[in-house]
């Protein structure tokens, strides 16, 4: 009986640790809109799996620019639950020519025991670098999936399909 309880507890703890590894950070890089501002934005959450990886994402749509993802936040993890970093892409100056801002997470010590203590720190990813280009390609894949699922575009009005 005790062995069964230990196995059950171990299973629950492993599941919690796996959930922590794939959860998106709750704090975004400094300079991005505050959580209070983001509360008024549309948020499109989702996830998908491929043969080799798991992707979790959140897309933020500014109500003043309903056809634009101003913030893209995503995490790509290996199927085995390997630790992974998170990426945030920010369209800081919509309508003006220039590169998007890209940030990579530098996270330390996140586990089920320290979930509430772990804080994300972010570093800028320079445009035209392979890391920046890879981040943009991944974001485009996410946008395509959201579009294919019919979840892109401004919120549908009653009785009309979502574009």
Report pLDDT digits (tens) over 18-48.
444 458 988 899 999 999 999 999 999 999 9
Give the pLDDT mean for 97-108: 88
Distance CA 21, CA 112 (A): 9
Contacts of residue 160, defined as CB under 8 A and 6 or more positions apart, other chains included, come to none
What global pTM score does this model have?
A: 0.75
pLDDT of residue 70 exceeding 60, the answer is yes
Mean pLDDT, the chain, integer: 80
Contact 71, 89 (CB under 8 A): yes
Contact 151, 161 (CB under 8 A): no
Among 45-49, 108-112, 136-140, 146-150, which stretch is predicted with the lowest mean pLDDT?
Answer: 108-112
The token pair at 117 is 């203590």
Which residues lie across from 47 on neighbouring strands?
56
* Length of the chain, in residues: 163
Q: What is the pLDDT of residue 83?
A: 67
Count CB neighbours of 103 within 10 A.
23
């Amino acid at each position: 009986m005790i062995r069964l309880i230990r196995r059950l507890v171990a299973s629950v703890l492993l599941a919690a640790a796996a959930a922590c590894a794939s959860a998106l950070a709750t704090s975004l890089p400094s300079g991005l809109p505050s959580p209070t501002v983001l509360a008024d934005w549309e948020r499109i959450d989702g996830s998908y799996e491929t043969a080799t990886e798991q992707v979790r994402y959140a897309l933020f749509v500014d109500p003043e620019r309903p056809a634009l993802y101003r913030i893209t936040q995503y995490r790509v993890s290996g199927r085995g639950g390997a630790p992974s970093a998170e990426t945030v892409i920010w369209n800081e100056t919509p309508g003006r020519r220039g590169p998007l801002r890209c940030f990579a997470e530098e996270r330390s010590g996140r586990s089920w025991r320290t979930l509430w203590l772990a804080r994300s720190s972010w570093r800028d990813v320079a445009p035209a670098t392979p890391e920046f280009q890879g981040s943009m390609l991944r974001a485009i894949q996410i946008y395509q999936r959201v579009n294919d699922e019919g979840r892109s575009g401004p919120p549908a009005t009653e009785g009309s399909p979502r574009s």
